[in-house]
Amino acid sequence: MSILEIRNVSTGYGEVQILWGTTLSLEEGKLTCLVGSNGAGKTTTLRTVMGLLKPWEGQVFFDGKDVSRLPAHAKAEMGLVLVPEGRQLFTDMTVEENLEMGATPRHARLHYAQNLERVYEMFPRLKERRSQKAGTMSGGEQQMLAVARGIMAEPKVLMIDELSLGLAPVLVLGLFETLRELKKLGITILLVEQNVQMALAVSDYGYVLAEGKVALQGPARELMEDEHVRAAYLGL
Ligand code: ATP
């Protein structure tokens, strides 16, 4: 069953159109990735789904409801959560205060203590550093915190923009491992990634976006074997 559906969405900034009828669908409980070159419109897609940018045309359905015109906070209440590119942490606040800020939806506030414990189990490093200011942590730790803050919102669908950007390979492996754990918890994930190889390796299904349109889609394993994908995105 599809939990999130983006149907024929077009949008852009001012006069400049970026998405040209983008259509994609997330199957519940699966990990789906959205890849493509710089400027293809991946971030724009996530921002439109979240409600930070309005679709000019087309619709977004979440959990069977048309949410195309809902603001971001209303979608977060329904269980749609975005971990934005560049993390956007509260750098002067501690790790734990940042996690608290993630627990804004009503259902997440109710289960705050349990969710905090779960997040600390997943990321022991964050537990050790719970009183440290977020801005003084390493890039990898900050990315962990950004994902953990997203989990604190108790999402049904978690969208992550550029999980691996700027991180050392060893940290990237750890974070990708976390995605598998989230999947086991039944969280549906939409992952935007520059690292196409890693993204396809962990995903169930993938979309390739080019110039604001879906150019290619399929089971991740098949995309990895696709000649065009290998030549254009995997450098093979
Ligand atoms: P990247 O990995 O480089 O972020 P992307 O696929 O996520 O690529 P987007 O961030 O969605 O791409 O950007 C698509 C296009 O929209 C780019 O040409 C970008 O310059 C433009 N764009 C993004 N944000 C804005 C904005 N706030 N105002 C005007 N143009 C923007």
Residues 34 and 217: their CA atoms lie apart, in Å, by 9
CA of 99 to the centre of ligand 1 (A): 28
CA of 213 to the centre of ligand 1 (A): 14
What's the Rg (C-alpha) of the chain? 17
| Ligand 1 atom nearest 37 alpha carbon | 6
pLDDT score, position 42: 96
pLDDT score, position 174: 87
pLDDT score, position 229: 87
Ligand 1 atom 17 nearest Cα: 39
Closest CA to 218 of 8, 25, 1, 19: 25
Ligand 1: residues with CB < 6 A are 13, 16, 18, 36, 38-44
pLDDT score, position 188: 97
Residues 89 and 113: their CA atoms lie apart, in Å, by 21
CA of 49 to the centre of ligand 1 (A): 15
pLDDT score, position 166: 81
Ligand 1 atom 15 nearest Cα: 39
| Ligand 1 atom nearest 209 alpha carbon | 6
| Ligand 1 atom nearest 41 alpha carbon | 11
Ligand 1 atom 20 nearest Cα: 39
Q: What are the structural domains of the chain?
A: 2-232 (3.40.50.300)
Tokens of 62: 């979440």
Q: CA 160 → CA 48, 81, 114, 120, 232, distances in Å?
A: 14, 9, 22, 19, 23
pLDDT score, position 202: 93
CA of 181 to the centre of ligand 1 (A): 30
Query: pLDDT tens string for the chain (236 positions)?
Result: 899 999 999 999 999 999 999 999 999 999 999 999 889 999 999 999 999 999 999 999 999 999 999 999 999 999 999 999 887 899 999 999 999 999 999 999 999 999 999 999 999 999 999 999 999 999 889 999 999 999 999 999 999 999 998 888 888 888 899 999 999 999 999 999 988 999 999 999 999 999 999 999 999 999 999 988 888 887 76
pLDDT score, position 236: 66
